[in-house]
Amino acid sequence: MSPLHSYRRLFGLTGPAYVVVAFVARLPLAMSQLGALLLVAGTTGSYGAGGASAGALAVANAMGAPVWGGWADRFGQRRVVVIQSLAGAGGLVALLLVVHSSLPWGWSAVASAVAGLFLPQVGPLARVRWRPITERTGRPQPGLVETAFSYEGAADEASFVLGPALIGLGVSIASPTTALAAAAVLLAIFGTWFALHGTAALAHAVTRRATVGPSHLLTGALLVLCASQFVIGTVFGSVQTGTTVLATNVGAPGLTGYFHALLGVGSVVAGLGMTGLPPTWPLPSRLGWFAVALLLLGLPLLLVDSLGLLAPVLLVLGLTIAPYMITTFTVGERITPPSRTGAAMTLLAAATGLGYAVGAAVAGRLADWGGHTPAYAVTLAAGALAVLLSWAGHGTLARALRGTREPAQRHPGGSPARD
């Protein structure tokens, strides 16, 4: 079956409205991190302050996401995500008020953290809905679940293409204040719409039926996946900071969002093509080789000294991002009890946010000292760590996948594929 036909079957189960709403609802999170960085850095003149504020938003979001995800498993996404959407929008408005007051920049970091605590992780929660959506046809459709996860990985990356681009557009034609205010409006409208969509009730019904089964969440395999997502978050944070510094140094800070979006363009293309990978290629091996590609394709960042050179480097580097993340989330969904899927998906997203915070903060400090190249060196260090983690954890992931709720991957002749 071609990837295009698989996506047509998948979207036919929900209709186009849900797909659009679920995509737009995840944009505010993608916008808020860069928006906070540019807003605070612009008012204080310090990349360290901007990176710390963006990092505070990401850390708070990382800390809150698994809690909100657990509550969504227990009480349903409708109630939980409505609260998050409205409170998160209010938090972003509060950040704008603090930044434009006479308070020290540290209070901006506090306000960023408050906003981040409430911002919903729409992408992970959307992943939770796809298995119930596919199974309401009356029969399990594991192939469509894989297609759904490929789409969600590409959608997440697309949001981190469009989100920074919208911030860049807002900065170019108005100001960081306008751009961040737009994020608050989008969250209040589309986040609430996503929360109230009928697929939320469908997912909650399946979760309630599954509570009689095993519910252990924190396994060794899931911790390996969290560490893997932490690394990819570090890549995001350091690349965004390095790109901000380079664009500002050449007198074009408004281009930051556009250039950072190039990382996501390649990622979206690669993510949508994931359905074309052979099913006999075991997931742990995929993760390892995608990590190797991440490291190798990141090396040219150390040689970049202009925006013209940066563009193709980011575009090519992005080809590794979505495949890496899709693999971790797919494994996470398979090895987690159905009653804890929301908590597991948001935990992986939280690890990504925490990695972003560390990457942005460390790269920001190094950038204050030596410019964009030391910031990009953080990206390379994260790539090296990804390689170590993926291959060291290969056996743990392979063992966890045996006997999971998905049927074993098989060779054409019918024998199980070896992990």
Query: How many domains would you assign to the chain?
Result: 1
Per-residue pLDDT tens digits for 271-282: 888 877 877 888
In-domain check, residue 300: yes
The percentage of residues in the chain with a pLDDT greater than 70, rounded to a whole number, is: 90
Q: How far is CA 339 from the centre of its chain?
A: 22
What is the domain extent for residue 133?
Answer: 3-401
Per-residue pLDDT tens digits for 321-351: 888 998 998 888 888 877 777 788 888 988 8
**How many whole angstroms separate alpha carbon 252 and alpha carbon 136?**
51
- Is pLDDT at 145 greater than 70 in this prediction? yes
In-domain check, residue 411: no
> How much is the average pLDDT of 58-67?
86
**How many whole angstroms separate alpha carbon 295 and alpha carbon 279?**
25
Tell me if 291 sits within 8 A of 386, measured CB to CB. Answer: yes
In-domain check, residue 416: no
Per-residue pLDDT tens digits for 4-61: 777 888 888 888 899 999 999 999 998 998 888 888 887 877 777 887 888 788 888 8
Domain of 225, CATH number, reads 1.20.1250.20
In-domain check, residue 409: no
In-domain check, residue 157: yes
Provide the 3-class DSSP secondary structure of residue 126.
helix
The percentage of residues in the chain with a pLDDT greater than 90, rounded to a whole number, is: 28
Q: Sign of dihedral through CA atoms 54, 57, 60, 65? A: negative
In-domain check, residue 406: no
In-domain check, residue 413: no
27, 129, 14: which is closest to 78 by C-alpha?
A: 129
Q: Sign of dihedral through CA atoms 238, 239, 240, 244? A: positive
Q: For residue 187, what pLDDT is reported?
A: 96
Phi-psi sector, 138: left (phi>0), alpha (psi -120 to 50), beta? left
Q: What is the pTM of this model?
A: 0.77
Q: For residue 416, what pLDDT is reported?
A: 36
DSSP secondary structure of 50-69 = HHHHHHHHHHHHHHHHHHHH
Per-residue pLDDT tens digits for 85-104: 999 999 999 999 998 887 88
Q: How confident is the model at residue 186 (pLDDT cuts 50, 70, 90)?
A: very high
Contacts of the segment 99-103: beta carbons below 8 A, 24+ positions apart? 99/39, 99/40, 99/43, 99/177, 100/43, 100/177
